[in-house]
Structure 1
Amino acid sequence: MKRLFDFFRRKPEAEATPPPAQFFCLYCNAKFPYEELERVMAHLKPHASREEAEARLGPPPHTEE
């Protein structure tokens, strides 16, 4: 009987960790972490699309191979 009771008993829910903070752009609805400071700065100025804001970032950094 105890096993049957244990089967139907509610188990305590594990405490969920909050999701990491994300920047949300009001102009193009883009979401990304605050750690990407350059992208956050590019999205602070008014723009029509995500591509337009990402174009402000400039060329990707060159890596030596």
Structure 2
Amino acid sequence: MENNKTLICIRRGTKSELKEIVLQEGELGFTTDTHELYIGSDCGNLLLSKGKRKRKNSDKEKKSEGC
């Protein structure tokens, strides 16, 4: 079996910068200030995922131990 690798590029910037950009259909965009993920569609930029939630200290400790 052939081992193929594909590089996926995600456009990133602040939320205000993303408002000025229309993503192409299927193109991903990530806001570095609000941690939101968008995808481009024929209707414009669609929000896929809201920003991350605030974690309790115990959650942060678990995350630092590794995935």
TM-score, scaled to structure 2: 0.20
Q: Which has the larger radius of gyration?
A: 1
Larger fraction in helix:
1
